[in-house]
A and B are shown apart, each in its own frame.
Chain A
Amino acid sequence: MAEKEIKVMQKILDMNDRIAQSIRDNLSKKNIKLLNLMSSPGSGKTTLIEKTAQEYGKSIFVIEGDIQTTLDAERINKAGLGAYQINTGPFGGDCHLEAGWIQSALDEITLDDIELLFVENIGNLVCPAEFDIGAHANVLVLSITEGEDKPLKYPLAFRNSHLCLISKIDLLPYLDIDIDRLKSNILQINPQMKIIELSAKTGEGFDKWISYLK
């Protein structure tokens, strides 16, 4: 039989994108805002959520994504918030969350009186940026210890985010980082990016973050 060429022209992540859109639509109907927190490991995402619970109130639920351990979910519970832990598997586990993972989590939890749903994505600036998980906004957390060059090294994560939280700014006096250069590197990748500098330790900048959430 002769070789035939079949036109497909379909997005490879079409199925993921459809699930993501349905998650977004369903949460919008319930007036719940889903924020996808992406960052490198150790940028302070869990600490940020703990402090946010103190400042914003308890109408927050957190879906935790990790390859292994329930440590983050335990910390979130201690902060008085409901949490659901996704473990993608200890060896060779996925380094990112996909919309299907989030939908499965949503099938298991109830979100009565919840206004904000945080997804703490797996700490990694490469893979999570590729997948729409149904968030209303992607929030990139970058701690100042990571250096000015990160936007240039991981442009997709910065391009696909709506807000960048520059965390741990209480450490500024001890570091040589040029924060203006960092900000200009961020804006060069994504001129529309909102930027908030904050510290979960001192509370600096949290007024801006909380008013963004409201």
Chain B
Amino acid sequence: MHEGAIVNSLLQIAERSKEEAGLATVSTVRIAVGRLHHIVDEVMQAHFDIMKQNIAGFENASLVTETREIKLKCDNCGKTITIDEPVFSCKACGCLSTRIISGDELHIITIEGS
């Protein structure tokens, strides 16, 4: 259950961004989560709904998660592939040497508010 720690960190960053932007209230915190992470969105939402109550201006905020697919680029044939299962070899040429170009994201994209 590491989602609590992640929500705690994201709220700290979101709070600082809110202050810097001079917003009074935040309506949406939008995050990107790559599928490589073991993160359960329902658990994130549950933590967010509890923790936001203690932060001024976040009481009515919602957490919106954009899931990012795992994409690999093959070092051998150069093709980009999307994987559904944890097999990190290239589907096109079978080569084992691939680089993750998407799917390990865990960041805040934007906050919205007024």
Contacts and interface: CB of A to CB of B under 8 A. Distances in A.
Contact of A159 (B27, B36, B107): B36
A10 interface: yes
A8 B14 CA distance: 8
Interface in B1-26: 1-2, 5-6, 9-10, 12-14, 17-18, 21, 23-24
Contacts of B113: 3-4, 6
Contacts of A188: 86-89
A156 B37 contact: yes
Contacts of A15: 9, 12
A131 B3 CA distance: 12
- Of the four ranges (under 10, 10 to 19, 20 to 34, 35 or more), the interface on chain B belongs to 35 or more
Nearest to A129: B38
B108 interface: yes
A6 B86 contact: no
Contacts of B89: 188, 191
B51 interface: no
Interface string B37-73: 1100000000000000000000000000000000000
Contacts of B74: none
Contacts of A105: none
B1 A6 contact: no
A15 B107 CA distance: 12
Given A8-B109, A151-B86, A159-B86, 10 more contacts: A1-B24, A6-B21, A8-B111, A9-B109, A126-B38, A127-B38, A152-B85, A188-B86, A189-B88, A191-B97
30 contacts: A2-B114, A3-B27, A4-B23, A4-B113, A5-B110, A6-B17, A6-B111, A8-B107, A8-B109, A8-B110, A9-B107, A9-B109, A10-B17, A10-B108, A12-B9, A12-B10, A12-B13, A126-B2, A126-B38, A127-B38, A130-B38, A151-B86, A156-B37, A156-B38, A159-B86, A188-B86, A189-B87, A190-B88, A191-B88, A191-B97
A-B pairs with the 4 shortest C-beta distances?
A: A155-B86, A127-B2, A191-B96, A1-B114
Interface of A: 1-16, 94-96, 98, 126-127, 129-131, 151-152, 154-156, 159, 187-191
Interface of B: 1-2, 5-6, 9-10, 12-14, 17-18, 21, 23-24, 27, 31, 36-38, 85-89, 96-97, 106-114
